[in-house]
């Protein structure tokens, strides 16, 4: 599933091309009703002729802002992709809808037809993604339901420690809860927990304040590096120009087979299930200390 770095990469790829372009028409592909939150005729009619004025991202959501202050909201599900193409290029399988666009200016790095048109196609093999048209108020309310992003300077390790202290669930499961921190999924939760030396099955209430501070730093470092590498491509992810990400070359534990030597200490890695998700951890670098005492608040304040 595209997580924060992948969606940010898509946004950065598409923004220079889409901003100031006008939606000429929307083309029906395979089974668009599986993807759209609105009836097909209504959606196609309402976006026709609209100029794109911005691309925003919130957590794992991409929002294409239109001139009439509506937003085309895209959630990519497991295998969703937005791909740029020439109008005459035939779509591949699993293309569910396409926007034909025209730009009044030169489109950087995109081949257009003689009328200056190009296409943005939405592909989704598993059809878990969603696309809908929202008003500005609806988009604001939706964004407000998500937690802050790890990069938000207002995300304070002490406040985060207090929040986690009220949870008895495993820390990996809570990291995937988008109402706590938005944008984190399976890949970057595993990688950050490994960097922080915290087992995915550790109960949140057992985490010390210094551990939570270490975890927040690890999340920020991993997400920053993944954005710089334009995301992680395990199987499906491509940016708007069809290019793969490269952060998979830096993965330490995510997706590794059980028994693979830990990249830090050589101990065989283990695979565990957390909330129905498979997770990889090192039992030595990430000890499962379920009954670890929580540090006093002033311990972390003295360290900061």
Average pLDDT over residues 155-172: 95
- Partnered with residue 278 across adjacent β-strands are 273
pLDDT at residue 298, as a whole number = 41
- Region for residue 239 given its phi and psi (left: phi exceeds 0; alpha: psi -120 to 50; beta: otherwise): beta
Residue holding tokens 């108020």? 137
pLDDT computed for residue 291 by the predictor: 47
Q: Please return the burial class of 144, using the count of CB atoms within 10 Å of its CB with bins 0-12, 13-18 and 19+.
A: exposed
Region 6-31: mean pLDDT is 96
DSSP H or E segment with residue 297: helix 297-303
Neighbours of 81 (CB within 10 A): 22
- For β-strands 61-66 and 70-75, DSSP reports them as antiparallel
**Candidate from 42-46, 48-52, 100-104, 201-205 with smallest mean pLDDT:** 100-104
What is the 3 state secondary structure string of 129-166?
Answer: CEEEEEEHHHHHHHHHHCCCCCCCCCCCHHHHHHHHHC
- Segment 199-208 shows an average pLDDT of 96
Tell me the percentage of the chain whose pLDDT exceeds 70: 94
Catalytic annotation, residues: 2-3, 60, 277
Confidence of residue 293 (pLDDT cuts 50, 70, 90): very low
User: Is pLDDT at 10 greater than 70 in this prediction?
Assistant: yes
Q: pLDDT-based confidence at 104, cuts 50/70/90?
A: confident
Burial environment of residue 77 by CB neighbours within 10 A (0 to 12, 13 to 18, 19 or more): middle
Q: Which of 202-206, 223-227, 294-298 has the lowest mean pLDDT?
A: 294-298
* The pair of three-digit structure tokens given for residue 8, joined into one six-digit string: 């940010």
pLDDT at 304 over 80: no
pLDDT band at 235 (very low <50, low <70, confident <90, very high): confident
- CA distances 235 to 50, 244, 267, Å, are 34, 9, 27
In angstroms, how far is the first alpha carbon of the chain from the final one? 35
Global pTM value: 0.92
pLDDT for 108 equals 67
Q: What is the mean pLDDT of residues 165-189?
A: 96
Query: Rounded to an integer, what distance in angstroms lies between the CA atom of residue 85 and that of residue 38?
Result: 25
- Asked if 209 and 300 touch (Cβ cutoff 8 Å), the reply is yes
């Amino acid at each position: 599933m595209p997580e924060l770095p992948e969606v940010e990469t898509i946004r950065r790829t598409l923004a220079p091309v889409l901003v100031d372009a006008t939606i000429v028409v929307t083309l029906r592909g395979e089974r668009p009703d599986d993807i759209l939150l609105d009836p097909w005729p209504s959606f196609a009619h309402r976006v026709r002729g609209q100029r794109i004025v911005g691309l925003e991202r919130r957590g794992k959501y991409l929002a294409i802002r239109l001139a009439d202050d509506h937003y085309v909201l895209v959630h990519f599900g497991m295998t969703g992709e937005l791909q740029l193409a020439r109008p005459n290029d035939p779509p591949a399988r699993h293309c569910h809808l396409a926007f034909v666009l025209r730009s009044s200016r030169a489109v950087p790095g995109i081949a257009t037809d003689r009328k200056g048109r190009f296409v943005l196609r939405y592909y989704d093999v598993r059809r878990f993604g969603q696309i809908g048209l929202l008003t500005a108020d609806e988009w604001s309310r939706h964004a407000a339901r998500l937690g802050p992003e790890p990069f938000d300077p207002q995300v304070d390790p002490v406040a985060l420690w207090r929040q986690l202290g009220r949870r008895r669930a495993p820390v990996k499961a809570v990291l995937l809860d988008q109402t706590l921190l938005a944008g984190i999924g399976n890949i970057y939760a595993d990688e950050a927990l490994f960097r922080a030396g915290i087992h995915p099955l550790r109960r949140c209430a057992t985490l010390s304040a210094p551990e939570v501070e270490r975890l927040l730093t690890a999340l920020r470092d991993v997400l920053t590096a993944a954005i710089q590498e334009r995301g992680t491509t395990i199987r499906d992810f491509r940016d708007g120009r069809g290019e793969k990400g490269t952060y998979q070359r830096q993965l330490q534990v995510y997706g590794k087979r059980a028994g693979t030597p830990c990249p830090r200490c050589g101990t065989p890695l283990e695979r565990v299930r957390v909330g129905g998700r498979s997770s990889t951890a090192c039992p030595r670098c990430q000890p499962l200390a379920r009954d670890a005492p929580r540090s006093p608040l002033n311990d972390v304040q003295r360290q900061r």
